[in-house]
Amino acid sequence: MGRHFYVHIPFCEAKCPYCSFYSVAGSKLQKEYFDALIKEIKNTKDEASDDPSEKDTVYFGGGTPSVPDEAYIASVLGEIITVFNVSDAEITIEANPHSLTAKKAIAYKKAGFNRISLGVQSLHDTTLKTLGRLHDRKTALDAIEIIKGAGFDNISADLMTGVPGQTIEDVLEDAKTLIDAGITHISTYSLSIEEGTPFEKRYGTSLEDPDVEIYERQMYHTLRKILEEHSFIPYEISNSAKEGFRSRHNSSYWRGVEYYGFGAGSHGYIKGIRYGHEDDIEKYIKDPTRKIVEEKLTEEDKMAEYAMLMLRTMDGITEEGFKARFGKSIPDDIRRKMRSLIDKGLCEEIKGGICLSRKGLDLANEAFMEFL
Ligand code: SF4
């Protein structure tokens, strides 16, 4: 039985040119922001439905949670643990190699974090430069040693694919080096050009060139295969983990269960209502309990969303999973859509249901559209 908590830390050292997440460069208003977070947590009722198949999880994401002073982070985690009586939980913090120090990693461990997700992106300095990241290969590898030295054994790393100039050999070398360094979970993301970012100006639609897309897909599948050969089980489109190291927190999103979202720009889902906060630090500080979006989901919405999210996972949509989540069989309209996905070659049959086929992994958005 568990509940899930997401905390958004919107501070970064500098804005990466491809990023469209809500975050601000610089450290202004940190104290005020963390005071507001504590106020929001204190004013939140413990009323989420328990997730029967998972223990408690807490996830500090960003932005870059390793940018602010570690004492702020520890005080917010302490508040969540106290207010919601959290115990025996998976507690993750995202960190970037450039801002993570040994002092911070030790403080996170002491505060109760037991998992770190490190934004490595690449171990090739030219690729890191293209991405406008502040760290280089050495800093990233040093950060992994710092994390291990602080006593963490559950370490995830993000890798980016499809970066201009990056080769399949580069990505495979990155993955092998991370595996050798003791990483237990790898998330892979393909670079996408987002509206309004400096990358949009720099690259426009050039990454949509069919040859570029085909090469990126080869990169993705080769990486996935290499990870599998090193006992990293692909359990979701973008995630592979060693046995026992799946992200419990992210898995809860894909099962469509309830979770709290604290902080500017965060979203939550409690008592059947999806909500969102202002993605503006100053507005959030003024009234951290204010929700700017509140949408009540019908039972049909919940089932369609569950089907769409479970399609991201290699567990897929199954009769057994549906019964466990909703206490009933897969409804006829969802069954029809599942059949249509098989007919289109986007999904394949598995025991009691379907999951994405190889073609579906490449055209996942097209598959997800079926449930929108
Ligand atoms: S560090 Fe992450 S959140 Fe911050 S600007 Fe870069 S990509 Fe965006």
Range of the domain at 208: 4-253
Average pLDDT of the residues in 211-240: 95
Taking alpha carbons only, the member of 289, 291, 292 closest to residue 45 is 289
Atom number, ligand 1, closest to the C-alpha of residue 15: 5
Q: Which of 8, 9, 11, 12 to mutate to test the pocket of ligand 1 (most atoms within 8 A of CB)?
A: 12
Question: Rounded to 5 degrees, what angle do the CA atoms 37, 20, 138 make?
Answer: 90
Q: What is the pLDDT of residue 305?
A: 93
- Residues 210 and 180: beta-carbon distance below 8 Å: no
* Ligand 1 centroid – CA 6 distance (Å): 17
Element at 260 (helix H, strand E): strand 260-262
Residue 96 beta carbon below 6 angstroms from any ligand 1 atom: yes
Is 336 inside any structural domain?
no
Residue 63 beta carbon below 6 angstroms from any ligand 1 atom: yes
CATH number, domain containing residue 169: 3.20.20.70
Is 49 inside any structural domain?
yes
- Residues 183 and 157: beta-carbon distance below 8 Å: yes
Is the pLDDT reported for residue 27 higher than 80? no
Residue 289 has a CB neighbour count (10 Å cut-off) of 12
Alpha carbons 264 and 261: distance in angstroms, whole number: 9
Is 291 inside any structural domain?
no
* pLDDT tens sequence across 54-67: 899 999 999 999 99
N-term to C-term CA, the chain: 30
Is 134 inside any structural domain?
yes
* Ligand 1 centroid – CA 359 distance (Å): 30
Q: What is the pLDDT of residue 52?
A: 76
Average pLDDT of the residues in 10-35: 91
* Ligand 1 centroid – CA 169 distance (Å): 25
Is 260 inside any structural domain?
no
Which residues are CB-contacts of 360 (< 8 A; sequence separation ≥ 6)?
A: 341, 345, 346, 347, 348, 367
Is 366 inside any structural domain?
no
Residue nearest to atom 7 of ligand 1 (CA): 19
* Ligand 1 centroid – CA 64 distance (Å): 7
Three-state SS at 292? coil
Number of domains within the chain: 1
Atom number, ligand 1, closest to the C-alpha of residue 63: 3
* pTM for the whole structure: 0.95
Mean pLDDT score across all residues of the chain: 95
Three-state SS at 232? coil
DSSP-derived secondary structure letter, 51 = B
